[in-house]
Structure 1
Amino acid sequence: MNKRLKHSLIAGGLVVALSATGGTVWALERFVVPHVVVDDVAAYEAAQNPTASATESATTSAPAEVTDTTYTSDDASIEITTHTQGTGDDTVTYYVADVELGDATRLRSAFAQNQFGENITDLVSNIATDNGAVFAVNGDYYGFRDSGIVIRNGVVYRDQGAREGLVFYEDGSVAVYDETETTAAELLADGAWNTLSFGPAIVEDGAAVAGIDDVEIDTNIGNHSIQGEQPRTAIGVIGDNHLVIVVVDGRDTGYSRGVTMTELADIMVSLGATTAYNLDGGGSSEMWFNGEVVNQPSNGGERATSDILYLAG
């Protein structure tokens, strides 16, 4: 079995007992076999939204400055810090990227292998490198499901509202919204730049959302075990064009046990987030900066995923 097939089988904690029946074919088709809808995303985005495509190639008037933990350019800055709380078996280690943007469209999305569809995956480091990123974090693993509104870099890819989503607008504002009460076209008309479809929202109006530890994120096979202490990724909003992205390591006693959803919300509030949203977690949780994996993914190494959020260098 090749590495990509193996990663597809275990993606998102998926554990499927395949039998020698029609169920085998169904499971392979649904969760393993790549289904390519757009085979050249870069060309597709350039055709659909030439202005958005040009944004990626824009250069700043002065060279960017990069250290082991910071990136500074004329229109973006990133500062990465490491935090540890608790002791012994109760230790939690997490990584924070404080991101300020001069232009909201500097935060971009990229798909694995420059393709859009289901079960198309690659390592965060590969996707980031392919797109000239200086910073990247795992996205919402859109390719593990066939629902949700997917708008990336100002282009619509999927319009199947199903859950609570997060939308980034070109004016720098960010909002949690109900996908079932709008359409991708309406969001785009209002200036949507990127959407994420995972969740739930974990912070609203500067406070942790009640009951989030009991929320079932998805009805897909294998997505029922996100409760409890887990590695996690979240993105929060401090203000317009001011974001905070957190990756919590987990499943490693003595180094980092992981956190509950409420504990994740509390971390986001402590960092000043007024709104925060949960992204794909577990073995997918990864922060990448300047050519290196910042955190320690729970798989012992990177796990392939379908998409990233990134800033180009």
Structure 2
Amino acid sequence: MSTSASPRRQGAQKKKAVKKKRRKVSFLRKLARGFMFCLLLLTIGMGWLYFAPSALNFRYLIADTLITTQHRYMAKYIIGEEELKNRVAEYNQRFIHMGDEVDTHTITAPVTEAAAEAAEVKDEKPLVEIEQVSGSGYSGYVMTVNDPTKVRLGIPDKAGSGEKVSSMVARTGAIAGVNGGGFADPEWKGNGFKPIGLVISQGKLFYNGLGGKTSTQIVGIDKQGKMIAGNYSLEELGKLGVQEAVSFQPRIIVNGKGLIKNAAEGWGIAPRTAMGQRADGALLFVVIDGRQPGYSIGANLYDVQQIMLKHGAVIAANLDGGSSTVLVKDNEIVNKPSSQYGERYLPTAFLVFEHPEQVKIDNIWEGLDPSQIDAAKKRPR
């Protein structure tokens, strides 16, 4: 019986082997077909992206988004190296001119606590209000500061390194804070200590990195709490009585009208921070998260402008964004910063205080030559 059963078993084994081989061949064929299909789709997609006139705006959107990141060089693979240079130069020129129009907005001066008590006026509005905002592909927050005179500029307390906004808030006793102006950031590994342009705090010039330039784009407030944003010289800033200010661009709203016409002029999609002001004097800080698929990809400057206009801003300007974007309230980080290394070290932040007159902020850059500051020096651990 064993002799007669052996051929049957062998035949069955052969059939199993053949079936297994066929399944393997079938799987490989399906895999090859799937690969060819994906390759075909990729070829068609790349052909559309690079050659179809209808894809032009999409190409620029991708390039503009890359320009706002540490991978700016990759934009040349989308629009070409020469066009990348032209694009950056075009935006810089456009941003400069967006700060030229004379701002004529006025605000209603906030009622002082003494005057309110004398007149028995009860203002039920809290000093700081935060609300969530969202739109196509983005999520974030609007922080309203109902008394603009309660805002001061925070700076680091140690030479050689920037400071996290959460640390500035905790150290100074602030109620809230958002990131401020830009800074030298070689290879996106800077220490956050070397600001770009000017830093003005408590009415004094703390830092002058203009070099040979006579003017710069400013975002700040004057003695009465009126927001100042646009292209100004140091002399003009002195005459305006600017108290707290940083350099950044562009201004996106002036005299109640938006300066960015559409999303195509919005300079890509990224995390954003911006500052604005309503006619009643309240300051608006828009903080949009980004670079986090499934939660928030980011917003363009047109999106930010429209949020500001919806909230009644008569003037608004962009602040440093990207990985620097952060909002802190009551010693807690409210948003979700995009930096893979966590909250960044920064040179400036706009902080909100119940009693700003009691806050003493020292000039950490006093006596330092901007040209001698090592922006890439490692931060102390």
Residues 181 and 195 in structure 2, CA contact (< 8 A), matched pair in contact too: no
Match of 2:174, as an amino acid?
A
Match for residue 151 of structure 1 among 180, 183, 200: 200
1:186-265 mapped onto 2 (5 Å cutoff): 186-210=236-260, 227-239=267-279, 241-265=281-305
Equivalent-residue separation in structure 1 for 2:156 and 2:298 (angstroms): 26
Match for residue 98 of structure 1 among 129, 140, 144: 144
Match of 1:175, as an amino acid?
I
Per-residue CA deviations over 1:229-267 (Å, capped at 9, x if unaligned) read: 100000011025311111000111221110111111111
CA-atom RMSD, angstroms? 3.1
Match for residue 329 of structure 2 among 289, 297, 307: 289
Equivalent-residue separation in structure 2 for 1:191 and 1:75 (angstroms): 28
Q: Matched residues, percent identical?
A: 28
Residues 135 and 289 in structure 1, CA contact (< 8 A), matched pair in contact too: yes
Per-residue CA deviations over 1:195-248 (Å, capped at 9, x if unaligned) read: 221110011222221369788xxxxxxxxxx93110000001102531111100
Shift in CA distance, 75/152, structure 1 to aligned 2, threshold 3 Å: farther
Match for residue 124 of structure 1 among 136, 160, 165: 165
Equivalent-residue separation in structure 1 for 2:196 and 2:296 (angstroms): 33
CA shift at 1:169, angstroms? Answer: 0.8
State the secondary structure of the residue aligned to 2:303. helix
CA shift at 1:170, angstroms? Answer: 0.7
Match of 2:348, as an amino acid?
D
Residues 148 and 162 in structure 1, CA contact (< 8 A), matched pair in contact too: no
Return the structure number with greater helix share: 2
Match for residue 157 of structure 2 among 76, 91, 113: 113
Unaligned runs of 5+ in 1: 1-11, 18-59, 62-71, 216-225
Equivalent-residue separation in structure 2 for 1:113 and 1:73 (angstroms): 35
State the secondary structure of the residue aligned to 1:274. strand
Shift in CA distance, 211/120, structure 1 to aligned 2, threshold 3 Å: farther
State the secondary structure of the residue aligned to 1:230. coil
Structure 1 counterpart of 2:225: 172
Residues 212 and 261 in structure 1, CA contact (< 8 A), matched pair in contact too: no
Structure 2 counterpart of 1:79: 129
Return the structure number with greater strand share: 1
CA shift at 1:73, angstroms? Answer: 9.2
CA shift at 1:294, angstroms? Answer: 0.3
Residues 277 and 316 in structure 2, CA contact (< 8 A), matched pair in contact too: yes
Residues 168 and 175 in structure 1, CA contact (< 8 A), matched pair in contact too: yes
Of structures 1 and 2, the larger Rg is shown by 2
TM-score where L is the length of structure 2: 0.53
Shift in CA distance, 126/212, structure 1 to aligned 2, threshold 3 Å: farther
Structure 2 counterpart of 1:137: 178
Equivalent-residue separation in structure 1 for 2:292 and 2:269 (angstroms): 11
State whether structure 2 residue 362 is matched by structure 1 residue 309: no
Unaligned runs of 5+ in 2: 1-67, 74-112, 115-121, 186-193, 355-381
Equivalent-residue separation in structure 2 for 1:262 and 1:84 (angstroms): 14
Match of 1:141, as an amino acid?
G
Equivalent-residue separation in structure 2 for 1:207 and 1:189 (angstroms): 25
Equivalent-residue separation in structure 1 for 2:264 and 2:135 (angstroms): 24
Equivalent-residue separation in structure 2 for 1:260 and 1:239 (angstroms): 25
Equivalent-residue separation in structure 1 for 2:125 and 2:295 (angstroms): 36
Shift in CA distance, 131/211, structure 1 to aligned 2, threshold 3 Å: same
Residues 161 and 345 in structure 2, CA contact (< 8 A), matched pair in contact too: no
CA shift at 1:75, angstroms? Answer: 10
Shift in CA distance, 100/195, structure 1 to aligned 2, threshold 3 Å: same
Q: Larger deviation: 185-194 or 76-85?
A: 185-194
CA shift at 1:291, angstroms? Answer: 1.0
